[in-house]
Chain A
Amino acid sequence: MSALPQTDNQTAGGRPARRLNLRDAGWLAAPAVLLLAAVLVYPLAIIVLRSFSEPEPGLQNYIWFFGSPVNRAVLQRTFVLSGWVTLASLICAYPYAYAMTVVGKNLRLILILCVLVPFWLSGVVRTLAWVILLQDSGVINSILRGLGLSPVKLIRTQLGVVIGMTQVLLPFMILPIYSVMKGIDTRLLQAARSLGAKPWRAFLQIYVPLSLPGVYAGAIIVFILSLGFYITPALLGGPRSTMLSSLVQNQVLSLLNWGRGGAMGVVLLVATFILLAIAAPLMRQKHTQTRREK
């Protein structure tokens, strides 16, 4: 038996690709692309150029950067902290997103609100709130003292930075996972059970693999945003939790050393794009799920 005729997914708007077709709808994006070229591509090009040319042409800035143990430590810390933030976000987000798919309509609305409300508070103000929460006389330590436990040093520590960043980035983990989970046909779990799978086994073998595209998407977004985080570590962290962004800012604004600052920026940029290139195929849903029909 031959395959059924494929549904024509071009009906929504595709035209056969032709070279230099002036009527192609793609030209409508030209103004936005031009702006992007002027305020994104050109500035980044300048930074790359300066990292190789200031104060004189050569690789000196990169040799300096990778030659300094302090810089290497900051680079490593940036990645390690981002990893912790990603892990913490994932642990919080996965069950939360799952709960969003199984509860009733009203409770789901409340759970979604809890994810969105943090966005309504200005980003800088949110960091101040974490200062209030984490400081030695702050809310968390008051609660700990109230419970008869000894207070913990949180402000200006890496732990404090991870907590604050996790809160800020958690929605970026919850939403992609939720949007993938929402599309998982839970009747597949029923099918697995009819084939003899215990409930937890059906969950691990069917549900979890199907939710992975959302997990990858959330993890990569959170990790990349963490790498470039600047305000939260600057306000919540101490000298021992400096991240790469702070070093870049310091080189450029305080030391006026564009070459070295640029080289650090390029390292951060390249790391980001390598990660994206590695992760992009993971995020694609390889095997389109059988959609619910009713």
Chain B
Amino acid sequence: MQLSSRIFLGLFCLLVAILLLAPTLVVIPMSFNSNKSLAFPPAGFSWQWYDNFFTNPEWLLSLRNSFLIATVVAILATTLGTLAAFGVTRAAARTGGLLRAILITPMVVPGVVLAIGIYAVYLDTGLVGTVAGFVFAHTMLAIPFVLIAVSASLEVFDRRLETAAASLGAGKLTVFRTVTLPLILPGVLSGALFAFITSFDEIIVALFITSPYLKTLPVQIYSSITRDADPTVAAVGTLLFLATSFIIVAGLLIGMRRGRT
């Protein structure tokens, strides 16, 4: 590539990177604003919005709800999704392709359409505003992510290792526990992480099936944006950002250590 086109490409990528990072770059300083305003740049430094978050029972309760729901969803979706991934990669090619297409549909169905459908069903079955209701809906939404992550691992997994283990006298479950699972674990774990985040961050279905007694964090954030418009949301966003960064960086470091040994 010529120097001029290199420079042009570099500048262009810089602009795109700025576009990608812009929200993060404004939210973090905004969370320390000393004014109850969203005008940028923030007017001074204060911890009051973090204080507000940690002392307001409404915020804490919604955080607790989201955490609970997302944990159950992560466990359920990882189990169902991993099973499904085995089904998809090891069924006959035609069946596998069909199953994959079916199981991935939650990713493409428009959120609002799905949300009103689930809302209609939940109204009839009394699941609106229940933890079970959230768990079912979010697990369904999270399964595609687990499926993709785990089947990617399974596709590179050498099945002859299972045959080898079986020839050494391992039963089917022992083979899975001692050979297959350890080797696809990175895929399973990243699937679990995706599932957790999918539930933790889900807003559209949540807005419909929420109730005054069971709000998740995104619902709380949404109503805070439309009602208060104060920087507490920025503080919450920063906290979540830091937590996510911490988990992902830790995961990467562990993955790198495993990769080396």
In the complex, A touching B, CB below 8 Å? yes
Interface residues in A92-111 by Cβ distance below 8 A to B read 92-93, 95-96, 98-99, 102, 111
B237 touches A128 (CB 8 A): yes
B43: CB under 8 A from chain A?
Answer: no
Given A43-B114, A133-B22, answer yes or no on A235-B95 (Cβ-Cβ < 8 Å): no
A129: CB under 8 A from chain B?
Answer: yes
B23 touches A17 (CB 8 A): no
A42: CB under 8 A from chain B?
Answer: yes
* Interface size, chain B (Cβ < 8 Å): 82
B168: CB under 8 A from chain A?
Answer: no
Q: Tell me the nearest residue of chain B to A231, going by C-beta.
A: B203
A147: CB under 8 A from chain B?
Answer: no
Chain A residues positioned under 8 Å from B117 (CB to CB):
40, 42-44, 46-47, 265
A35 touches B140 (CB 8 A): yes
B94: CB under 8 A from chain A?
Answer: yes
Chain B residues positioned under 8 Å from A252 (CB to CB):
116, 119, 208
State the CA gap A93–B20 with chains docked (Å): 11
Given A25-B87, A29-B87, answer yes or no on A15-B234 (Cβ-Cβ < 8 Å): no
B225 touches A228 (CB 8 A): no
Given A124-B218, A245-B111, A249-B112, answer yes or no on A130-B23 (Cβ-Cβ < 8 Å): yes
Chain A residues positioned under 8 Å from B182 (CB to CB):
none
Chain B's interface: helix, strand, loop or mixed, by majority?
helix
A118: CB under 8 A from chain B?
Answer: yes
Given A32-B81, A39-B118, A167-B19, answer yes or no on A99-B140 (Cβ-Cβ < 8 Å): no
Interface residues in A224-254 by Cβ distance below 8 A to B read 224, 227-228, 230-231, 235, 245, 248-249, 252-253
Interface residues in B208-228 by Cβ distance below 8 A to A read 208, 217-218, 221-222, 225-226
Chain B residues positioned under 8 Å from A258 (CB to CB):
116, 120
B113: CB under 8 A from chain A?
Answer: yes
A230 touches B204 (CB 8 A): yes
Given A25-B86, A26-B91, A129-B27, answer yes or no on A40-B140 (Cβ-Cβ < 8 Å): yes
Q: How far is the CB of A245 from chain B (nearest CB, A)?
A: 4
Q: How far is the CB of A117 from chain B (nearest CB, A)?
A: 6
Contact of A124 among B90, B155, B203 (CB under 8 A): B203
- Mark interface residues in B1-23 (1 if CB within 8 Å of A CB, else 0): 10000000110110011011111
Which of A59-67, A68-76, A136-144 forms part of the interface with chain B? A136-144
A268: CB under 8 A from chain B?
Answer: yes
Chain A residues positioned under 8 Å from B189 (CB to CB):
none
- Mark interface residues in B171-207 (1 if CB within 8 Å of A CB, else 0): 0000000000000000000000000010001011000
A193: CB under 8 A from chain B?
Answer: no
Chain A residues positioned under 8 Å from B81 (CB to CB):
32
Interface residues in A1-27 by Cβ distance below 8 A to B read 10-18, 24-27
Which of B48-56, B240-248, B253-261 forms part of the interface with chain A? B240-248
State the CA gap A92–B9 with chains docked (Å): 11
A122: CB under 8 A from chain B?
Answer: yes
A131: CB under 8 A from chain B?
Answer: yes
A269: CB under 8 A from chain B?
Answer: yes
Contact of B87 among A28, A119, A120, A130 (CB under 8 A): A28
Given A102-B1, A114-B17, A124-B218, answer yes or no on A265-B116 (Cβ-Cβ < 8 Å): yes
Chain A residues positioned under 8 Å from B16 (CB to CB):
92-93, 95-96, 114, 170
Given A121-B241, A122-B240, A132-B38, answer yes or no on A224-B108 (Cβ-Cβ < 8 Å): yes
Given A13-B159, A98-B9, A121-B240, answer yes or no on A27-B112 (Cβ-Cβ < 8 Å): no
A276: CB under 8 A from chain B?
Answer: yes
A46 touches B121 (CB 8 A): yes
Given A16-B92, A122-B240, A124-B218, answer yes or no on A39-B137 (Cβ-Cβ < 8 Å): yes
A123: CB under 8 A from chain B?
Answer: yes
B27 touches A120 (CB 8 A): no
B109, B159, B248: most-surrounded residue (chain A CB, <10 A): B109
B116 touches A262 (CB 8 A): yes
B149: CB under 8 A from chain A?
Answer: no
User: Beyond A26-B87, A124-B225, A269-B109: 15 further Cβ-contacts under 8 Å?
Assistant: A24-B95, A26-B92, A30-B87, A33-B99, A46-B120, A95-B13, A111-B17, A122-B240, A123-B218, A124-B203, A126-B27, A129-B22, A224-B110, A231-B222, A248-B113
- 13 inter-chain pairs at a CB distance below 8 angstroms, sorted by A residue, are A25-B86, A26-B87, A35-B80, A40-B117, A115-B20, A121-B240, A122-B236, A124-B203, A139-B40, A167-B19, A231-B203, A245-B111, A269-B110
Instruction: Sort A-B residue pairs by CB-CB distance and give the 6 closest, nearest first.
Output: A228-B110, A43-B117, A125-B237, A29-B87, A129-B23, A26-B91
